[in-house]
Amino acid sequence: MAELAHVSNDPANLARVIEIIDRDGGVIVDDFVSPETLEGLRADLLPVIAERGTGREDFFGKQTRRLSRLFAHTRHCSEIALNPLFHDAARHFICVPRTGWLGDQPYEINCEINIGMTQLIQIAPGQGEQPLHRDDGAFQWSRSFGKEARLQIMLAISDFTAENGGTLVIPGSHKWDDVRPPRRDQAISTEMKAGSALLFVGGTYHAGGQNQTADELRTGLTMSLDAANVRQEENHYLSLDPDLVASYPEEIQRLLGWSMFGSALGWVEIDGVLSDPQVLLHSA
């Protein structure tokens, strides 16, 4: 496969996006955000990341800058998280029900999704390739579980090319077992224009590419939608002020983790009652 499949940013393409991700492990959505949103993201985020230092470890890149807490730096992340081709595809791959038992009574067990992490990643000239890896390794997910726990996006803030470090992807690797190792000659470079996005599941082997240009920064915004029954990779409860979270629409508040689903996960005790955190978020 020379390149990943491309689809246009149209909610009507949801079934096609799901089909391609199921087959290849990833898909490129052209023009995922509007030119106005792209410019807003650049205006909000690029001056901030320019003040950050580069990584201190090889994996995170000694010629790579990273910026997290993106919901604290820009309001435009909401549009990314709620885009149906991202949000609804994540629910398809992650929210797979199974049957449990309460005594002798069967009942359906399902999960919700949370925003697991947010990060702006800027690869500078001279940065080498990352090792190929699966991002769901952060919570020790296994291919034997039979479903995905993460759908991730890499939104191109600048153009992505093979020369400037476009994300490396091994198509179909999400179907491999846990013991098969990735090889560099199996990976292809993500090439897409600014404003387009790569969507890929947590089981897909990928890596940041090598920036071989003389003076071109490769900047991408990544965000994950994860199963709400795994720990969020980024600790939003400490990095985002509750007043800031409360200023977002309820759907974003819940995606950031200020939520309870079912009767067992995410509750807070209020006057002896297991309650939804939304009560505390709006009690001030």
Whether the per-residue pLDDT at 255 is higher than 60: the answer is yes
The pLDDT of 172-198, averaged and rounded, is: 97
Nearest of 109, 96, 205, 110 to residue 152 by alpha carbon: 205
Q: How far is CA 216 from CA 126, 177, 209, 255, in A?
A: 10, 37, 13, 34
* Cα separation, 33 vs 38, whole angstroms: 6
Whether the per-residue pLDDT at 221 is higher than 70: the answer is yes
pLDDT of residue 45: 98
**Helix, strand, or coil (residue 275):** strand
pLDDT of residue 284: 57
* Cα separation, 203 vs 201, whole angstroms: 5
Whether the per-residue pLDDT at 279 is higher than 90: the answer is no
Residue by residue, DSSP assigns 57-89 as: STTT-TTEEEE--HHHH-TTHHHHHH-HHHHHH
Q: How far is CA 197 from CA 34, 175, 178, 179, 252, in A?
A: 12, 22, 27, 29, 20
Predicted structure pTM score: 0.95
Contact 66, 119 (CB under 8 A): yes
% of the chain with per-residue pLDDT over 70: 99
The pLDDT of 85-110, averaged and rounded, is: 93
Kindly report, residue by residue over 119-162, the tens digit of the pLDDT.
999 999 999 999 999 999 999 999 999 899 999 999 999 999 99
The pLDDT of 33-47, averaged and rounded, is: 98
pLDDT of residue 95: 94
**Helix, strand, or coil (residue 225):** strand
**Helix, strand, or coil (residue 172):** coil
The pLDDT of 196-206, averaged and rounded, is: 98
Average pLDDT, the chain: 95
Residue 105 CA to chain centroid, in angstroms?
A: 37
Residue 160 CA to chain centroid, in angstroms?
A: 17
- The region of weakest confidence among 5-19, 75-89, 172-186, 257-271 is 257-271
The type of residue at 79 is: E
- Quick one: pLDDT band at residue 283, thresholds 50, 70, 90? confident
* Cα dihedral: 35, 37, 42, 45 (round 10): -170
